[in-house]
Structure 1
Amino acid sequence: MTAADILKDLKNRKFKPLYLLHGEEPFYIDQVSNYVEHQLLSDAEKGFNQTVFYGKDTDLMSVLNSSKRYPMMADYQVVLVKEAQDMKWGKDDEDKKSINPLLAYLENPLPSTILVFCYKYGKFDKRKKTYKAIEKNGLIFESATLYDNKVPGWIESYITGKGYRINQHASAILAEYLGNDLSKIANELEKLMLNISAGQEITLEHIQNNIGISKEYNVFELQTALCQKNAFKVNQIINYFEANPKANPIVLVLGNLNNFFSKVLACHYVKDRSNLAREIGVNPYFVKDYEQAARSYDYGKTMNIISYLREYDLKSKGVDSNAEDGALLKELMFKILH
């Protein structure tokens, strides 16, 4: 099931006695967790029937004792364990001398309790008996990290779901700058939409005015200028970066360029160019840029550029250099272009 499927069931009052929400991407785990915490019970019911634990501040027996209680003046009680990855789960094994209390409860959960574990920033071990017991008697949702090439599409879908529109170029710029942290992206999009009338198309101008990403002088445009070996444009952009270091920190610039040229290097290994976007993991909208970059920089030069990027990453951190970030970027651009 997707997070949307789970939320739909919760809204329709179709509950499971056990939920395990786990995975590298916290956005969907938080989305379901927030609904469970704030919407499942009425304010009057929450006082006696809702308990919220935090993994590092609780223990297994406290969670189980709460889970075994019956609801008061309500059909259900909710037990929510946030940051469950920090909780000590105990031994997973059973033997004749002792009974695993967690496993015993998971094998026979109380139907009137909704017990939710939010296990973030990693996957729960699927080999464990606890996992299999939850899978058998409840519901498990894995929130996987979104691949970089899928982020622009996710942005477009999120915007559409809120009643707005956004063009591909604008969504790609946002993805390029914000990365694949969905919580961060959603937060920026929510702030952006506060300043735009519902139904409007979000443009680069909106992004520039509200998020601070220049539509002309950004890492994406720098990549395009490097593809074209347009030294004049490259220097214009680098001068802008030097004048606006907080908006364009060198660590962000180097990280994006390293990601870009790593994919350019991958282009040199792809024999069947008909599926290039899928092979190197980029949005099809930008395939032409990577193809042009691969033509502009042969395999050997691309390898050198990646080496330069690592060298200047170290220099930006003070290794064998005390130069300002702007000067380092200018040196780096010269080496890339020549």
Structure 2
Amino acid sequence: MARLVDAAQTPPLLSERRVVVGRHLGRFGDKEAIAPLVAYLADPLETTALVVVWEKGAVPVQQRLNPVPKSLLEAVVNAGGEVRKTSVGRGREAQQWLDDRLDEAPVELDRSARVLVHSRLGEDRPAVVPFLETLAAVFGTGAALGAEDVTPFLRVGGDVAPWDLGDAIDQGDVPKALDCLSRMMGAGGRHPLAVLSVLHGHYGRLLRLDGSGISDEKGAADALGIKGYPAKKALQTSRQLGGDRISRAVKLLGDADLDLRGRSAWPSELVAEVLVARLASLSRR
């Protein structure tokens, strides 16, 4: 923080203004840590254009982003600055964000192209910005494009959210579940053990609801400590699978855990693929 403030207080050399950018400020999540920056903003240098990005720390990697301290927000506004929310959001909000980018694009994508973009980008939605700029540079502003036109410019598939894998398994859709797994381990960079942890949590919730007597969304949400919608889905899946199949799924998870920790000579990716295929197959019966 001291280095950022020092840079902001340094007059420009051989130019009229100086631009200073501070990134990964999310690691300074409390009022005390951010105090030097707040103090600077009380009397900022007029020749400095300061941009601070409230995002997770990179080295070491910060797992959880702290909220922006109120004192910093007030200091920015009082200094005549702007606070802009640039996050994509989650769930429907994220889907809407991507739709808005496609609506505002310099090229016109038909329905097939839009569906393909949603599918391929997955959770890597911010990548749509340079993607659309590339299309405009290649085809020209205002060009009408279909799926065949945009396919060469899309990656194999971006990361997907953990619940997408759970949904595909619960639906018994083996190909989709394997595609989600591949994207989580590929673009998402998750180790098979990390995927296994996600699945342990998923089936742990189903196991907790099975035989509990809970019959409504609120009861499930209270028991699991999660929001209503995912609790409702978990309750429905628990009823559909039943105790026997949930128990079989838990056993498959246990076997895969041992295999990933050295019991089997199989590659870890293969262990994860076989597990996901078997779990999805359980949901189809």
Alignment TM class, shorter chain as reference: 0.5 to 0.7
In the TM superposition, what whole-angstrom CA distance separates every residue of 1:54-92 from its partner, at most 9, and x where no partner exists? x7xx724522431xx268664x44222234456899956
3-state secondary structure, aligned to 2:83: strand
Say if 1:172 and 1:279 are closer, same or farther in 2 by CA, change over 3 A.
Answer: farther
Q: Which runs of 5+ in 2 are unaligned?
A: 57-64, 158-162, 186-190, 210-214, 219-226
Corresponding residue of 1:151: 94
Corresponding residue of 2:217: 270
Q: Are the aligned partners of 1:78 and 1:115 in contact in 2 as well (CA < 8 Å)?
A: yes
Q: Which runs of 5+ in 1 are unaligned?
A: 1-54, 94-99, 214-218, 272-277, 282-288
Corresponding residue of 1:133: 75
Q: Are the aligned partners of 1:83 and 1:118 in contact in 2 as well (CA < 8 Å)?
A: yes
1:160 counterpart letter in structure 2: D
Larger radius of gyration: 1
Q: Normalising by the residue count of structure 2, what TM-score does the alignment of the two structures yield?
A: 0.53
Shift of 1:104: 4.0
Corresponding residue of 1:200: 145
3-state secondary structure, aligned to 1:109: coil
Q: Are the aligned partners of 2:241 and 2:283 in contact in 1 as well (CA < 8 Å)?
A: no
Query: Is residue 174 of structure 1 aligned with residue 120 of structure 2?
Result: yes
Count of residues in Structure 1 that have an aligned counterpart in Structure 2: 242
Instruction: Name the one with the larger strand percent.
Output: 1
Match of 2:48 among 85, 95, 113: 113
Shift of 1:212: 2.9
Say if 1:309 and 1:64 are closer, same or farther in 2 by CA, change over 3 A.
Answer: farther
Shift of 1:153: 2.7
Q: Are the aligned partners of 2:88 and 2:94 in contact in 1 as well (CA < 8 Å)?
A: no
The correspondence of residues 88-107 of structure 1 with structure 2, limited to 5 A, is 91=32, 102-107=37-42
In the TM superposition, what whole-angstrom CA distance separates every residue of 1:122-172 from its partner, at most 9, and x where no partner exists? 345415x45532232233334446113333333222222222334575355
Corresponding residue of 2:9: 65
1:149 counterpart letter in structure 2: R
Match of 1:80 among 11, 21, 24: 21
**2: CA distance between counterparts of 1:194 and 1:264?**
49
Corresponding residue of 1:314: 257
The correspondence of residues 244-263 of structure 1 with structure 2, limited to 5 A, is 249=185, 251=192
Corresponding residue of 2:224: none
In the TM superposition, what whole-angstrom CA distance separates every residue of 1:17-76 from its partner, at most 9, and x where no partner exists? xxxxxxxxxxxxxxxxxxxxxxxxxxxxxxxxxxxxxx7xx724522431xx268664x4
Q: Are the aligned partners of 1:82 and 1:117 in contact in 2 as well (CA < 8 Å)?
A: yes
1:107 counterpart letter in structure 2: A
Shift of 1:108: 2.0
Q: Normalising by the residue count of structure 1, what TM-score does the alignment of the two structures yield?
A: 0.47
Say if 1:322 and 1:334 are closer, same or farther in 2 by CA, change over 3 A.
Answer: farther
1:105 counterpart letter in structure 2: Y
**1: CA distance between counterparts of 2:169 and 2:90?**
25
3-state secondary structure, aligned to 1:120: coil
Higher relative contact order at CA 8 Å, sep ≥6: structure 1 or structure 2?
1
Shift of 1:174: 3.3
1:62 counterpart letter in structure 2: D
**2: CA distance between counterparts of 1:140 and 1:152?**
23
Say if 1:221 and 1:65 are closer, same or farther in 2 by CA, change over 3 A.
Answer: closer
